[in-house]
Amino acid sequence: MLLSQAVEHEELLIDSVNTDYRHKRHLENLSILSGETITCLYNRSGDVVVKVKDGRIAINREFARLIEVTSLNPQYYTESVKNGIVKRKLTKAAKEMFKEEDKKYRQEEKMRKKELKRKGEKR
């Protein structure tokens, strides 16, 4: 699979980076090299924003097509064919799962902030 075909929230394992030497080094310095796992945050018709080790990197369509990846959680995604074009989408179940995760995280954040406030008041 190509990086430009990744969908939101998908975790990917990089197989190979087939750009020229200069940009390969540039991507390596940003820790995008074969064997690393990255998460796709956003895909806008080929341009992707990718989360790599706490950092966010935007990669253009042309470069994204030259990076080969495999999906680490294909069970969340479905492919549908429309007019000869293949579209990859999140399944409904997966969407709900992610929403719930988001909610949980926000609740935990609130609890933690309350605790910190309490600690601050005690002092």
Partner 1 sequence: MISVALCGNPNCGKTTLFNNLTGSKAHVGNWPGVTVEKKEGIYKRKKDFPEEISIVDLPGIYSLSPYTPEEIVSRNYIIDSRPDVVINIVDSTNLSRNLYLTSQVLEMDVPVVVALNFMDVIEKRGDSIDIKALSEKLGVPVVPISALKSNGMKELMKAVYSVAKTKREGTLLYKDGKIDQAILSLSSKLREEEIASPLFIANKLIENDEAVLAQYSDYEEMRDKILDDNNIQDRSQLENTITDGIYNYIDENLYPVYHKSINAPKRSFSDRVDKILTNRFLGLPIFALVMFLIFCLVFNTDFLFMGAMGLQPIRPFFEDAEPGMPSLGIVLQDLLDWLLNGLLLDSISTGLASINSPAWLTSLLCDGILASVFAVVTFLPLIVLLELFIQILENSGYMARVAFTFDRLLRRFGISGKCVVPLISCFGCAVPGIMGTRTIDSKRERVLTISLTPFFACGAKLPIFLGIGTSIIQEISGGVLQGGVVAFIMYFVGIIGAIIAGFFSNEFIIQGKSSPFIMEFPPYMVPQAKSVGLAMWQETKRFLTRAGTIIALMSALLWFLQTFTWSWEMVPMIEVNGEEVADISSSILASIGSFIQPVFYPLGFAHAADGWKYVVSAITGLVAKEQVVGTMESLNILNATSITIPAAFSFLIFNLYTFPCVAAMSAAKAELGEKRNFRYVMIFWLVSSYVVSAFAYGVGSLSLIGTSAFGTLELVMSIIAAVILVSLITLLILNYLSIKKKNHPLRLIKFNIEDKDAEFIENIYAASRKVTKKKVRHSCCN
Strand partners, 17: 67
Residues numbered 16 to 55 that lie near partner 1 (CB under 8 A) are 18-23, 25-31, 33-36, 39, 41-47, 49, 51-55
Distance CA 32, CA 38 (A): 8
Per CB under 8 A, 71 contacts partner 1:
no
Distance CA 6, CA 8 (A): 7
Distance CA 35, CA 87 (A): 26
Per CB under 8 A, 58 contacts partner 1:
yes
End-to-end CA distance of the chain: 55
Which residue from 56, 103, 114, 117 is in contact with partner 1, where contact means CB under 8 A? 56
Shortest gap between Cβ of 96 and partner 1 (angstroms)? 14
Shortest gap between Cβ of 83 and partner 1 (angstroms)? 10
Per CB under 8 A, 59 contacts partner 1:
yes
Distance CA 90, CA 10 (A): 9
3 state SS of 90: strand
Which residues in this chain contact partner 1 in the complex, by CB under 8 A?
2, 4-5, 9, 18-23, 25-31, 33-36, 39, 41-47, 49, 51-63, 65-66, 84-88, 98, 101-102, 105, 108, 112, 116
